[in-house]
Amino acid sequence: MTEKHLICLDLDGTLLTDEKEISPRSKAILTKLKNDGHEVMIATGRPYRSSEIYYHELELKTPIVNFNGAFVHHPLNNSWGTFHTPLDISVAKEIVEACDQFQYHNIIAEVRDDIYFHYHDEKLIDIFKMGNPRVTTGDLRNFLEDSPTSMLIHTEEQQVAQIRKHLSDVHAELIDHRRWADPFHVIEIISAGLNKAVGIQKVAKSFNIPKERIIAFGDEDNDLEMLDYAGTGVAMGNAISQLKSVANTTTLTNQEDGIAVFLEEKFNIKIA
């Protein structure tokens, strides 16, 4: 066999089709590579509860990176360790306080798999309910009891830049923030210095796989560090242009089996 590689997969817009499914072709090639001794892992901005279904569907036995690196653990092996780097609760409450000067729809705090909504919002609760989290609604300044893994500010498009500027001006050393892809006008906040690359680095080290044998696939700005870090960073055909410019190569879109096409060629495998 070729030397062992670590294959890192973003979920939305990358491994998953627009219907949020793993295509049969992608599944077949990833299963084949796993059986050949390579390691396949997921690195996503999603919490574990809404990525677990895909972890089990692929029958993975690797650690998983969730919340863009703020939570890394091994679902099948507690002794591997759990790396959870939440935002300081006082910073989280300061951010809620500061948002009062801006217009926004809601602020959501996720403490691993529990969710806190600043305002009750059926539509948003519906989006986040995959995996049956415990949901608490009410002013986060009063109801949030633990340091959150991640915070989301849901706002209008024209408010995004102002809020992000405030976050950078006031909390630059403590937090990192990104904007979700359209159509969501959501600002996502995690503790400073975290990203998917930080997570996959820990996993690669535990498997003793050097950087040059890491292949990472992604489509959005939360994949930038991971693709930059990997020996082979592969942008999906539907990826943002900024990601394509840091990637080593671009494959087809998530609707065209981009991952499978790249891996079949790279490992010279033809799945009938």
Is 18 known to be catalytic? no
**Which member of 10, 176, 223, 257 is catalytic?**
10
Contact indicator for 107, 99 with CB cutoff of 8 Å? yes
Q: What is the 3-state secondary structure (H, E, C) of the chain?
A: CCCCCEEEECHHHHHECCCCCECHHHHHHHHHHHHCCCEEEEECCCCHHHCHHHHHHCCCCCCEEEHHHCEEECCCCHHHCCEECCCCHHHHHHHHHHHCCCCCCEEEEEECCEEEECCCCHHHHHHHCCCCCEEEECCHHHHCCCCCCEEEEECCHHHHHHHHHHHHHHHCCCEEEEECCCCCCEEEEEECCCCHHHHHHHHHHHHCCCHHHEEEEECCHHHHHHHHHCCEEEECCCCCHHHHHHCCEECCCHHHCHHHHHHHHHCCCCCC
Task: Give dist(CA 141, CA 119) in Å, integer.
Answer: 12
Partner residues linked to 233 by β-bridges = 216
Catalytic residues: 10
